Amino acid sequence: MALWSGRFEEATNEYALKWGASLETDKVMAEHDIAGSIAHARMLSEQGIISEQDFDDIEAGLGRIRTQIREGTFAWDERDEDVHMAIERALTADIGAAGARLHTGRSRNDQVATDIRLLAKELADDLLSENNSLREVLLDAAEKYVDVVMPGYTHLQHAQPVLLSHHLLAYFWMLTRDHDRLGFAFDAADANPLGSAALAGTSYPLDRDRTTELLDFATTMPNSLDAVSDRDYLLDLVYACAVSMMHLSRLAEEIVLWSSSEFGFITLSDSWSTGSSIMPQKKNPDFAELTRGKMGRVVGHLMGLLVTMKGLPLAYNKDLQECKEGIVDAVDTLLGCYIAMEGMIATMKVNRKRMAAAAGEGFTAATDIADYLAKKGMPFREAHAVVGGLVLECEKRGCGLEDLTLDDLRAASDLFEDDIIGTLDPEGIANARTTYGGTGIDAVLLQFEEAREVLEDDYL
């Protein structure tokens, strides 16, 4: 019989019982449930609501259950509705009346809210530290290839030469904002709902701030109705996951492109690629593709949770049981993608020559030639048109801008002089962009300093 079966004359339908259970999903928060129960029981005994002996028995019993769960010897009973019931039942079977007093002044509604918050904080913590690791790998790669030039793109068309380090640092900053979002999600979860009981609080003289302190929450939630039914912090967490997945999917897409024969910019290590079962020559960027593809399920979990929460009347509703699975999967997915991305980036080889050659293809010096004329007094709009004409001429001849002679150039404008020759190599063009935040090596070195500082702070 269920722990709540007092007012029932018939047993729950077998199918309904299993169908409505959350035990399987709940197992990830078994230890959080035990921690929450020990804090609640300690506070109850300090308040004189249960005896010290009862508390000692509860703490010891829950300790034994925790050991069994860790060792895989705990006898889960699939007829238990959820982890809270399973543990309370086992505790009471072990220690008797003291176990049956544990639930005094508590409901599964504030209990589950507490457990999920403790879990959410732990999950956010895991993500924060893996995010740090990935950012470190990105910084190391950017440092290793600090002076490699590549084409910068807009519309995936060659635009202007940039440094590969600058390109990789762009992802560093995206992931830094993700770190901030994950930190926000951690803080959102960091408030204690315990002591709200079913929905309205309780007539027992609970000390809610004491369980806040024991469970290491930052604050005590001020409204019991809100406390038992709020899952905003899970939305914050899954949103942070979705945005970070979006960033990883962009990086993954570039890895897929760059490792293709058409680009040939990078070679993924054998350890982070796979082969084909039919085509012997294939080396596929599977793990980048998977990272790109897994974005879908995480966005799905974000949408799922938003829709689950929509229109729920106060306070607890069973719908809230649906909140957990998606979050755990979203976090697992992002963690896995962080790790895969670290593996790919840390072990890939950059084909410097191919990147540098591509950096000069596609008339990427055009802006700088226009700037050259503008700096000599020609209005920029006019210079733009002159250089547009040169590009057209090159296309007709099938050559690059660097192949034009001084005479060719002077035919377009007599502002061209000797000093134009040799200033149009991609590296020089990239490095001339010394504005704060630009791709020039001096600006990039400054950026490294800032990035290292930010990362160091985030490790604290």
Active site residues: 155, 276
Residues that bind ligand ARG (CB under 6 A): 22, 82, 108-109, 112, 316, 318, 320-321
Angle at 251 between CA 249 and CA 256, to 5 degrees: 90
Kindly state the smallest distance separating residue 24's Cβ from ligand ARG, in Å. 11
311 versus 422: smaller Cβ distance to ligand ARG: 311
User: Residue 428's closest CA among 354, 387, 372?
Assistant: 372
Q: How many CB atoms lie within 10 A of CB 142?
A: 25
Buried b (16+ CB within 10 A) or exposed e, 251-275: bbebbbbbbeeebebbbbeeebbee
82 versus 88: smaller Cβ distance to ligand ARG: 82
User: Alpha-carbon distance 412 to 390, whole Å?
Assistant: 7
Kindly state the smallest distance separating residue 316's Cβ from ligand ARG, in Å. 6
Buried b (16+ CB within 10 A) or exposed e, 144-163: ebbebbbbbbeeeebbbbbb
- Region class of 157: left (phi > 0), else alpha (psi between -120 and 50), else beta: beta
**Residue 360 and residue 400 in contact, taking contact as beta carbons nearer than 8 Å:** yes
Angle at 320 between CA 314 and CA 326, to 5 degrees: 145
83 versus 148: smaller Cβ distance to ligand ARG: 83
**Residue 317 and residue 325 in contact, taking contact as beta carbons nearer than 8 Å:** no
**Secondary structure E strands in 176-332:** 191-192, 219-220, 266-267
Kindly state the smallest distance separating residue 28's Cβ from ligand ARG, in Å. 12
User: Alpha-carbon distance 233 to 191, whole Å?
Assistant: 10
Kindly state the smallest distance separating residue 150's Cβ from ligand ARG, in Å. 50
Half-sphere exposure of 207 (CA within 13 A, CB side): 16
Kindly state the smallest distance separating residue 2's Cβ from ligand ARG, in Å. 11
**CA-to-CA dists, residue 17 to 72, 323, 338, angstroms:** 24, 19, 38
User: Alpha-carbon distance 310 to 300, whole Å?
Assistant: 15
Q: Is 265 helix (H, G, I), strand (E, B) or coil?
A: coil
1 versus 156: smaller Cβ distance to ligand ARG: 1
- Tell me how far the alpha carbon of residue 308 is from its chain's centroid: 22
Kindly state the smallest distance separating residue 23's Cβ from ligand ARG, in Å. 8
Kindly state the smallest distance separating residue 85's Cβ from ligand ARG, in Å. 8
